[in-house]
Amino acid sequence: MTQNQDDKYRCEECGATFDSQVEWEQHNRKVHSRYTCENCQEHFDKEDEFEAHNFKMHPELQKYPR
Ligand SMILES: [Zn+2]
Ligand SMILES: [Zn+2]
């Protein structure tokens, strides 16, 4: 395995590379319909999973109606 010296973001699904994390996230969302947690960089295939993760791991981000 060769080490990529470029500090690029690589899509694990199709191998496409991106200069910025934003582009990488947009690609994931657009092409692979994925959701990425901006807080811990985990990604999720379904919106349900992503929301459940946010709810569980980052409760401070949730807005609870009182
Ligand atoms: Zn891809
Ligand atoms: Zn997270």
Ligand nearest to the CA of 24: 1
Q: Which domain holds residue 46?
A: 35-66
Per the confidence metrics, is the pTM higher than 0.85? no
**Percent of the chain topping pLDDT 70:** 82
Check residue 9 and give its pLDDT.
Answer: 93
The count of structural domains within the chain is 2
Check residue 13 and give its pLDDT.
Answer: 86
Residues 39 and 57 in one domain: yes
CA of residue 54 to ligand 2 center, whole Å: 6
CA of residue 24 to ligand 1 center, whole Å: 8
Residues 27 and 6 in one domain: yes
Cα separation values, 34 from 3, 4, 16, 29, Å = 26, 24, 15, 5
pLDDT band at 30 (very low <50, low <70, confident <90, very high): confident
